[in-house]
Chains A and B, each alone.
Chain A
Amino acid sequence: MSPTSRSTGDLSGDTTAIQVPTVRSWAQLLSALSAGCLFGFGLAFSTMIRPAVVLGFLRGQDFGLMLVLGGAVLVTFIGYRIVPRLLHKPIIGGAFAEHSAVMDRDTLAGAAIFGLGWGISGVCPGPAIAGLGAGSWELGYAVAGIAMGALLQGLTAPRKA
């Protein structure tokens, strides 16, 4: 489940606490930033940062969202398969995470609730953030709502034994 960033050849020499590998962290942040840039550019280019376009899809007026999702899934499907064959480990080090989604009642109940909110507002987590970069400050209301929703979910989550 956890995308482990276990430090193997870490130069810090600190073996006490569970740690984020400090040597790699700048490379990691820069990597995430550049990957996010492409992601955000794609969201803006495909007009997914416009809630009206998303609602147009959900109301059967424009099927563009299927092309966005389909295109993204296709490339990622190929990427997730090819990259580990070409590289022994990620370029900045560490290990490739395994994606393992859990199936339980929360998966479906959460998805149902998520869908309701998505259908009401036309906004989902990524585009809400990306849209801010294109000057859609109104999406700040959505970002605030999503953040409050995430807070509520954490505060009401049952304690693990």
Chain B
Amino acid sequence: MSNLAGMFPFGWTHYLIGGLCIGVGVSLLFALTGLIGGMSSVYTTSWSYVTRHAFFQQVKLVASREWRLAYAGGLIAGAAAWWMLFGGGERVSVSFHPAQLFIGGLLVGYGARLSRGCTSGHGICGLASLQKPSLAAVLTFMTTAVVAANLVLRFGGR
């Protein structure tokens, strides 16, 4: 029991319930529309509204940009609903330096799109459909993320 407490200092039920909820969302999208919904693609498809560059005007990107944006809008609404129900009147503040968020984000965006998936595309959808490339991607990004997170700590970051 103490072992469990060591692995989950903040408890574990909210993690499991939240994860199940995410799975229901992804499955619901599939049942309703037949679509497989990772989250990194919206950052590429939305550029098709802004730039005429050929890459962003590919048919498959333009054809999916609307539902992907609606899906992203749902994310915001869902988290807002959580905030209203369970947030206790306090917003969730993030105390990291803007540069840490922006530079990390740059690598996240570039890498996820190069790899064609992120924690949800490869991690949830890919693993759930037993895709070997996704498993390889997950193992790869878990490894580099652990290294990076510990290096940040080593060099005095948060």
CB distance from A55 to the nearest CB of B (A): 5
Residue in B31, B105, B130 whose CB lies within 8 Å of A91: B31
CB-CB under 8 A from B140, the residues of chain A are 108, 111-112, 115
**Contacts A35-B74, A76-B128, A135-B91: A49 and B15 contacting too (C-beta < 8 A)?**
no
CB-CB under 8 A from A150, the residues of chain B are 40, 43-44, 47, 109-110, 112-113
Question: Nearest CB to that of A109 among chain B residues?
Answer: B114
0/1 string, A103-114, CB within 8 A of B gives 1: 100111111111
Contact B10 A115 (CB under 8 A): no
A50 to B123, CA, bound (A): 18
CB-CB under 8 A from A136, the residues of chain B are 91-94
Contact B55 A33 (CB under 8 A): no
The residues in A between 34 and 88 inclusive whose CB is less than 8 angstroms from any CB of B are 34-53, 55, 58-65, 67-80, 83, 87
**Contacts A32-B37, A72-B23, A153-B113: A65 and B15 contacting too (C-beta < 8 A)?**
yes
Contact B16 A151 (CB under 8 A): no
CB distance from B23 to the nearest CB of A (A): 3
Contact B98 A141 (CB under 8 A): yes
A110 to B108, CA, bound (A): 9
Question: Nearest CB to that of B79 among chain A residues?
Answer: A133
Q: Determine if B33 is an interface residue (Cβ-Cβ < 8 Å).
A: yes
Is chain B's binding surface mostly helix, strand, loop or mixed? helix
Interface size on A, residues (CB 8 A): 120
Contact B110 A113 (CB under 8 A): yes
Q: Determine if A148 is an interface residue (Cβ-Cβ < 8 Å).
A: yes
A120 to B21, CA, bound (A): 27
Contact A36 B77 (CB under 8 A): yes
Question: Nearest CB to that of B50 among chain A residues?
Answer: A151
0/1 string, B92-113, CB within 8 A of A gives 1: 1111101011111111111111
A148 to B4, CA, bound (A): 40
A29 to B132, CA, bound (A): 30
CB-CB under 8 A from A51, the residues of chain B are 94, 96, 101
Question: Nearest CB to that of A71 among chain B residues?
Answer: B19
0/1 string, B30-50, CB within 8 A of A gives 1: 111111110110111011000
Question: Nearest CB to that of B9 among chain A residues?
Answer: A62
Contact B115 A38 (CB under 8 A): no
Residue in B47, B77, B79, B93 whose CB lies within 8 Å of A138: B93
The residues in A between 110 and 161 inclusive whose CB is less than 8 angstroms from any CB of B are 110-126, 128-136, 138-139, 141-155, 157, 159
B residues in contact (CB < 8 Å) with A: 7-10, 12, 14-37, 39-40, 42-44, 46-47, 51, 53-56, 59-60, 63-64, 66-68, 70-83, 86-87, 91-96, 98, 100-120, 122-134, 136-138, 140-153, 158
